[in-house]
Every structure is written in structure tokens, then in C-alpha cells.
Amino acid sequence: MTIDMHSHWRPPALIDLLRARTEAPLIETSDDGVEVLRGRSGGTEPVSEAFDNLEERLAVMDRQGISTAVLSLFGTFQWIEALPLEESLAMLRVHNDALAEICAAHPGRFVAYASLPLVDQAAALEEFDRVMGIDGFIGAIVPGNAFLTYKDAEAFRPYLETANRHSAVLFVHWGPRPGDAWPRVTPEADNASARLFTLDMQASLSADMMTLCYSDLLEEYPDVRIHIHNLGGNIPYEVERLDHRNALDTPDEPMPSSRLVKPHLYVDCNSLGAQAIECGVAAYGASRIMLGTDGTEFGCEWSVKALKEARIDDAARHAILHGNAARFLGHLATLAPYQEAAE
């Protein structure tokens, strides 16, 4: 059985609040009498398909051998974090409290990352402190744009301080801060989806890793845990190029390959393949990688298959599937006990 560190959740707890909204995103009744979720771009999706179902998620976890899933707000709902505070705080508290209820009802099967009203730092930190007093929460999700550069990260020091005080996790996930131009790839671009959800995402995560690994930023927060998804971007397969440029341009500085391991900084292997996982193990060591699936059955099948095919030893594979995550967050929440998954 395995621990899924990257398991997004489309929150049904927000349905009533979305019905009450008067501008998109909102839930409305279509001309044919079907309730739909209308997004900011005008597209619609039936409510029956737009949100997650707890029993269905548990069934997927059981089929795929997932013992514990770490729930986090699905990306297309993260616009909530950028709403004016009088709207965002109420919605996010409903969401966070619903996650707390899920964790309490299924101890060990679920733990959670909170979402925060990022438009108001004081309110966000107050909510962070609040949820860390609730069983099941291991930390909070924060946007990747907050760590693209050292200067960007300076503004997020209070979040690092709060996480450090609770020995909690910050899940650095690709995405904008309130006010950032987004998306960076316009829908009119050729191959827009591939450019946005792969090229832009991986490049941004690489920049996050550069900020966190090449600077002394984390040294002031020895108890904070950092989780970055998708193997931390392209670093594992560009590290030799980084070393080469370092030798040419800044030979007096330590080689990039020697800077990639930081205390309590881990990546997940969501959406990557066997060769990428092999590169990740070579770059970071197997002890710094955890399983991620995006919270879908397809994602789970993809990631588990990649781990099976990766040319790594059984000890490394077990560490990625369970041991690393158990060590990473076991002090923060109850986890389901490990047992061998049935073939």
C-alpha cells in the first residue's frame, strides 16, 4: 500500500456557495434543466461531473493500493484564493473544514493541505494557524510563482515562518499569486495545452527548485517541510548542463549537482515516466522522492507503472511508494499502516 502525496480534490462542499454566486464561476441551471458549473472562461460542466465523490475516491484508492491520500484543492478551483477577502475566507474555511471532516471520518486514509486566502497575508496566516490545530492537516498549498526567484520568495517568508513553527509542509504547486498575469501561454498559441501544462509548468518548477536549493533561504526555517511536484521540474535531466555552465561561468561556486539535497525538501513523481524517475533518483537520491498521482485513477496507474518500469532497486521503489512520505509527514498526522498491495 502506498502514500499519495499529490491527490487533488474538487470540493463538493462549495456547491451551495457556488449556487449563491451571481458571477462566474458559479452554478446555474442550463436551458435543458441541468445544473452546470460555469467557469471564468464561460465553459460549463455538469455539476454531477465537476466535483469529487468521497466513496468513489475511496474505491479508486482501494483498487490502486493507495493507503493514504493527501488531499489538496484542485487547480481549477484555486481562483478562490484570489477573491476579495470577504469572499475567499468564507469559501476557503468551508473547504478546509470539509477536508477536516473527511480526515476525521477516515483516519489514516486521508490527510490534507489547507488552502489559504492569499489576498490578505494576515488572514492567510491566521487560517494557517487555525487549521494546524485540527487533526489531519499537514500544511498548506502555496503557488509556485511565490518561489520563482529569491525576491519573490522574500514576500512569502511569513508562510515559511508559520510552517516552521508547526513543523508543517508547504506544498509548492505551479500556479499564480493573486494579481499575476495568468495563464502565461494564451489559448490562441499553437499547441497551447502542451506549452502551458508541460513546458511552462516544468520550467516554473525548475525555477522554484533553483531558488530553494541555490540560496540560504531555508536555513532560517529548519523545521519547515517543502514538497514540490513533478520531480521539481526539469532539474533531474538538466543538472549536467547546469554543472557545465557553472564550470564555465562561475567556477568558484559549488556545482549545482551538489546543492540539490536540502533538509526536508522533497519532490513527487506525478505524471513523469520511468526514465525521468531514474534521472530523479540519480539527481536527488531515492530518499527525496514520493509518489504523486494528481488524485485520478489514470494518474495513479501512470505513476505506479512508471515506478515499476524504472531501473531502480526494490528498496528505492518502496521508499518512493511509502517510506519517504511516512518519514516526511508521520509526525503531523495518523497514517494508514503499511501493507503489501495485492497484485
Summarize the chain as % helix, strand, coil (round to 5): 50, 15, 35
The third-level CATH classification (topology) of the domain covering 2-10+52-329 is TIM Barrel (3.20.20)
**pTM, 2 dp:** 0.96
What pLDDT shows up at residue 342? 44
Q: Which residues contact 280 (CB under 8 A, 6 or more apart)?
A: 231, 236, 267, 269, 272, 289
Query: Taking the domains of the chain in order of start, what are their residue ranges?
Result: 2-10+52-329
What pLDDT shows up at residue 99? 98
What pLDDT shows up at residue 339? 67
Category of 179 on φ-ψ map: left (φ > 0), alpha (ψ -120 to 50) or beta: left
How far is residue 211's CA from residue 260's CA, in Å, rounded to a whole number?
11
What pLDDT shows up at residue 229? 98
In the chain, the amino acid numbered 207 is A
How far is residue 217's CA from residue 207's CA, in Å, rounded to a whole number?
14
Place of cell 490527510: 111
- What is the distance of C-alpha 191 from the center of its chain? 25
What pLDDT shows up at residue 343? 44
The string of pLDDT tens digits covering residues 302-342 is: 999 999 999 999 999 999 999 999 999 999 998 988 766 54
Closest CA to 145 of 130, 155, 160: 155
What pLDDT shows up at residue 338? 72
* Residue ranges in the chain whose pLDDT is less than 70: 339-343
Q: Return the half-sphere exposure (C-beta side, CA atoms, 13 A cut-off) of residue 204.
A: 24
Decide: helix, strand or coil at residue 94: helix
